[in-house]
Structure 1
Amino acid sequence: MDRHDVLLADLDGTLYRGAVAVPGAVEAVLAAQERGLATMYVTNNASRRPVDVAAHLVELGFPATEREVVASSQAAATMLAAQLPPRAAVLVVGTEALAEEVTRVGLTVTADAAEAAAVVQGHNPETGWRVLAEATVALRAGAVWVACNVDPTLPTERGPLPGNGSMVAALRMASGREPQVAGKPAPALLHEAASRSGARNPLMIGDRLDTDVEGGRAAGMTTLLVLTGVSDATELLGAPPALRPDLIGADMAALALPADELAPGPRPGWDVRASDGGLELSGDGHALDALRALCAAHWAAGGGPARVSPSGEGAMRVLGELGLVPATVAGADTPDPAGARP
């Protein structure tokens, strides 16, 4: 926390899962506030108004105001306004909150494909076939298409559920088109959050490699991956360079630790050696230290698919906690290692 002046925090999977706060997240944000470190709440979820998101955060115990919430719905509306004439009609595949952002930038909303100059798409659990069909007609006729995000899943208290990206995939298949993307990993959303806060050295925190980490890196920011949502140890170890975080923590409590302890690299108590077709871990200690050591060794060797094998009971225990035994790095579906604290 001494190295950064503002925290840019993802929401779903990082601070909360649905209606439940991630354990330790509220305490971590409050501790940062006590040290004079503000938090901006950056979300790809376009289903709710920023004022409602702020209210939900406050209800869970987070210090938040409407201005501190930066949503992909706002970025999407800005992108549309830059490409369309005033009062142009936009077909909204999403919630009323997204429609309000569209009208706020001087555009109008329509439900008729024949009138639509553009289609904007955000998460809405009530989205059905009829609106997707209307959007398909508009897109096939040449309408501008902006997706608030392309996250395939949405972390909830019940586990991952279909996200906006899954619904975008349906329109992609039906229309043969590719959308412009407003949210992470595009850097615009993070630049807007940093600008609002006046940050010079923000820290981007999130649970997804393909949105939060990739977006933070694209924006030139230091990134912290927390293992409380979508991305797990297996995905992290096999990540390509553009998706590799600067820091790795089990959860938001990692903010209280020195940055050097969170960075991938050799760790006391652990030894990583190359073995036939993979990595061999030996030693004993904290699970996240083992993961940081494995990442550093594997990435330095070029990354990609690999197998991790344990040498000794301590390594066997920790790899089990991380969901890496038995597992092939990249593409494996492994348990959430959020319980392994740094």
Structure 2
Amino acid sequence: MIPSYIDIEAIFDHYDAVFFDAYGVLVDGIDALPNAEQLVNIMNASAMNYFIVTNDASKSIESLSNKFQSQGMRIPVERIVNSGSLISGYYRDEDLVGRPTLVLGTKDSRTYVSGSCAKILSLDSNSEPDVILFTHSSPYDWESTLKHLLNLVSKRFKQKKPVRMVLPNTDFIYQDGKADFGMGAAAFVETLEEALMRLHGKHEVLRAAKLGKPHPPIFTEAIRRAGSNNVIMIGDQLETDILGANNVGLDSAVVTTGINKRSDPKEFKDMPDDLTPRYILTSLV
């Protein structure tokens, strides 16, 4: 499948709702990207049905909205769907409410489980968790952290009391400035999963539950909020934004301002169909 070019006006005319990734599409991790502020102003003025669908679980919805505001974009909380907001529902669905949870992430990310677990633990806690929640890749020494988690999860598996692992943000890498990138929590979780598999073989309980893109939960919630399946996902990562949209039957458009730098449709000719966007969007306005 070879993508074609599309402009933002054609997107607004054709779709009932538009999903935007944040990092690499609207912001570079620090500042707003070119035309992002103008785009948001246009959508707000025209009452466009849009949502920011982001894997970022390190910030609360309110903090995300405030951050966008500081970057010149007035994006209200009701327009944001992030992977962190799915955590409480996951706890209810999986009967994890009340379970002690080790939260590896920011202070903001702890608010997502404050009402769902009896006790929030840290790495230096004396008691063991029943759930490990990976919400952000910093500020940890990952060599020692992975060693600690490997031994904890392995021990509990052998005791037939497995620890549940939950990974809201499945970004392996993310944009962290105009030309810089960071390693996401998913990079370390994949290392942990691989180590556990080598020790114990393939077992579903030794794999983290994934909530963010490209997995269905975040798309299911965003589609519910949009009130329509006639939606397009605009993103910069083929492995999350585009793959996830394609897997749930949504159209997708890739930008060239983030991880993806392919701007010519011919550059996708050898790409698997599930990683290929329907469109290339060369400008936000």
| TM-score band w.r.t. shorter chain | 0.7 to 0.9
Q: Does the 8 Å contact 2:59/2:109 carry over to 1?
A: yes
Distance, in Å, in 1 between the alignment partners of 2:270 and 2:112 is: 38
- For 1:17, what is the secondary structure of its paired residue? coil
- What pairs up with 1:13-32 in 2 under 5 angstroms? 13-32=24-43
The answer to whether the 8 Å contact 2:170/2:211 transfers is no
- Match for 2:165 among 140, 145, 149? 145
How far is 1:68 from its partner?
Answer: 1.8
Counterpart-to-counterpart distance in 1, 2:270 and 2:119: 44
Matching of residue 39 in structure 1 with residue 50 in structure 2: yes
In the alignment, the residues of structure 1 paired with residue 163 and residue 277 of structure 2 have an alpha-carbon distance, to the nearest angstrom, of 36
Alpha-carbon distance, 1:192 to partner: 0.9
Partners of 2:150 and 2:126 lie apart in 1 by: 8
Give unpaired runs (5+ residues) of structure 2. Answer: 1-11, 157-161, 198-205
Superposition map of 1:102-181 within 5 A: 102-106=113-117, 108-111=119-122, 112=125, 114-129=127-142, 130-140=144-154, 141=156, 142-157=162-177, 158-176=179-197, 177-181=206-210
State percent identity of aligned pairs: 24
**How far off is 1:54 after superposition?**
0.5
Provide the rounded CA distance (Å) in 2 between the counterparts of 1:146 and 1:229: 26
Question: Deviation digits for residues 25-45 of structure 1, max 9, x if unmatched?
Answer: 221232233333132111112
Q: CA deviation at 1:166?
A: 1.7
For 1:123 and 1:240, how far apart are their aligned partners in 2?
A: 29
RMSD over equivalenced CA pairs, Å: 2.2
Structure 1 residue 92 displacement after superposition: 1.2
Quote how far apart the aligned CAs of 1:137 are.
Answer: 3.5
- Look at both structures and tell me which one has the larger radius of gyration over its CA atoms: 1
* Counterpart amino acid of residue 105 in structure 2: G
The 8 Å contact of residues 25 and 251 in structure 1, kept in 2 or not, is answered as no
Task: Describe the shift of the 1:206–1:41 C-alpha distance in structure 2 as closer, same or farther (beyond 3 A).
Answer: same
Deviations 1:145-193 (A, max 9, x none): 1111332211121422212222223322443332221100012112212
Q: Distance in 1 between matches of 2:149 and 2:132?
A: 7
Match of 2:18, SS state, is: strand
The 10-residue stretch of structure 1 (48-57 or 217-226) with the greater mean CA deviation from structure 2: 217-226
Equivalent position SS for 2:111: helix
Q: Give CA-to-partner distance per residue, 1:301-325, whole Å, 9 cap, x none.
A: xxxxxxxxxxxxxxxxxxxxxxxxx
Structure 2 Cα separation of the partners of residues 188 and 7 of structure 1: 17
Question: 2: distance between equivalents of 1:107 and 1:192?
Answer: 26
* Distance of 2:176 and 2:116 partners within structure 1: 31
SS at match of 2:274: helix
The answer to whether residue 252 in structure 2 is matched with residue 217 in structure 1 is no
The Cα offsets for residues 229-286 of structure 1, whole Å up to 9 and x where unpaired, read as 1122287443211111111112323xxxxxxxxxxxxxxxxxxxxxxxxxxxxxxxxx
- Give the conservation status (yes or no) of the 8 Å contact 1:78–1:105: no
Alignment correspondent of 1:188: 217
Relative contact order: is structure 1 or structure 2 higher (C-alpha 8 Å, sep ≥ 6)? 2
Unaligned runs of 5+ in 1: 254-342
- When the two structures are superposed, what TM-score results if normalisation uses the length of structure 2? 0.80
Contact 1:93 1:135 in 2 (8 A): no
* 1:113–1:81 distance in 2 versus 1, CA, 3 Å: farther
